[in-house]
Structure 1
Amino acid sequence: MVSSAGLTRRPLKLTALGLSAATLLTLASAGCSASVGGAPPCMPPEFAVSPSSAKAGDTVTVAAPDATCDPRYGADARISIVFIDAAGVEVLNSTAPMADAGGFTFTVEVPLQSAPGAMAVNAMPYGVDWCDDTGRNNRVAQGELQLERASCVLPTKPLNITN
C-alpha cells in the first residue's frame, strides 16, 4: 500500500502478528537466560537418597553436596524434606539445616505408617525462591518473599519401601 506521501504502509494485522510473535519468542527464551549481570541462574544441587530401598523403621539419609555456583541461601538456610508414600500420603514433612551453598545431610527413620512401594522423596530449599530460573538472585532480598514456582520441576527421588 502506498500513502499519498509516497510512504509504504504495512497492513495493521501483519504488524501486530509480527510483534506478537517477537514477544512470544522473547518470553520463551527468557526463562533460562543469563541474568542482567551475566551470571546464569544457580539452581539447588542434586540430592540423593541412601539407601535406595528400605523398610518402615529403617534409617535413610537424604543429602546433597554444596552447589558449584553461588546460590547464597544464607547462614540460617533450611532444606524442606517431604516423604510421600506409595498410597499418596505425606508421611513426613520436616526441615533441616542447609549450608549457604545448598549442601545438607538429613538422616531419618522411615515412618512406620509408610505404605510399601515407591515413595517420593522431595527436597527443596525452604522459604526462598528455590526455582530461580529467572536469572535474578531472589535469595539476597530482605523481608518476606512471595514464592512462585516458575517452570522448575519439584526435585524428587524414589525410595523403595519394602515389607
Structure 2
Amino acid sequence: MPPHYSVTPASAKPGDTVTVSAPDATCNPRYGANAKVAVTVTDSAGAVVLEELAPMNDAGGFRFEFDVPAASAAGAAVVTAMPHGVDWCDDTGRNNRLARSGDFDRASCAMPMQMLTITK
C-alpha cells in the first residue's frame, strides 16, 4: 500500500502553504534510494491545479509543501500522494517490484485521497 499521508491545514486559500506528509512505514516497503512521491491536487471544479514529484525516502516517508494555486476553484479539493514509478498494489499479495525491472502497471486498487477545502 502507499504511505498513509496527511494534509495540513485542512482549509487554505490561494497563496497559502499546504503540507502533504507521511511518516516512515513500519513494514520496510523498500521504495529505493531515489524514490519519488507524485502529489496531485484536483480542485472542486475537477481541474488538476498541481502535479509534482517530490523526494520520498526508502521507507515511504516524505514532506512536500506547496502554495495553493491562484486559479484553484473554491470548495472541496482532492489531494493524492502516491509512490511514483512503482507497482505498489499487487492483488496477489506478492511484492512484484523486487521480481522484475522496467515499467510497472498499477493493479486495481482504490486511490487514496485526502480532502483540502479551498476558500477565497
TM-score for both structures, normalised by structure 2? 0.94
Match of 1:30 in 2: none
Match of 1:101 in 2: 59
How far residue 133 of structure 1 moved from its aligned partner, in angstroms, is: 3.8
The equivalences for 1:51-90 within 5 A come to 51-90=9-48
Which stretch shifts more, 129-138 or 73-82?
129-138
**1:71 corresponds to which letter in structure 2?**
P
Higher helix share: 1
Q: 1:159 aligns with which of 106, 116, 119?
A: 116
Equivalent-residue separation in structure 2 for 1:138 and 1:145 (angstroms): 12
Structure 2: give runs of 5+ residues left out of the alignment.
none
Equivalent-residue separation in structure 2 for 1:90 and 1:133 (angstroms): 28
Equivalent-residue separation in structure 2 for 1:149 and 1:85 (angstroms): 26
2:63 maps to 1:143: no
Residues 72-119 of structure 1: per-residue CA shift (max 9 Å, x gap): 100000000000000000000110000111110000101110000000
Equivalent-residue separation in structure 1 for 2:55 and 2:95 (angstroms): 21
Match of 2:8 in 1: 50
CA RMSD of aligned residues (A): 1.2
Contact 2:32 2:58 in 1 (8 A): yes
Percent identity over the alignment is 57
Count of residues in correspondence between the two structures = 120
Equivalent-residue separation in structure 1 for 2:99 and 2:19 (angstroms): 31
Structure 1: give runs of 5+ residues left out of the alignment.
1-42
How far residue 142 of structure 1 moved from its aligned partner, in angstroms, is: 4.8
Q: Whose RCO is larger (CA < 8 A, sep 6+)? A: 2
Equivalent-residue separation in structure 1 for 2:74 and 2:66 (angstroms): 17
Equivalent-residue separation in structure 1 for 2:30 and 2:92 (angstroms): 16
Q: 1:123 aligns with which of 81, 89, 94?
A: 81
Larger radius of gyration: 1
Change (3 A) 1:132 1:66: farther
Higher strand share: 2
**SS of the residue aligned with 1:158?**
strand
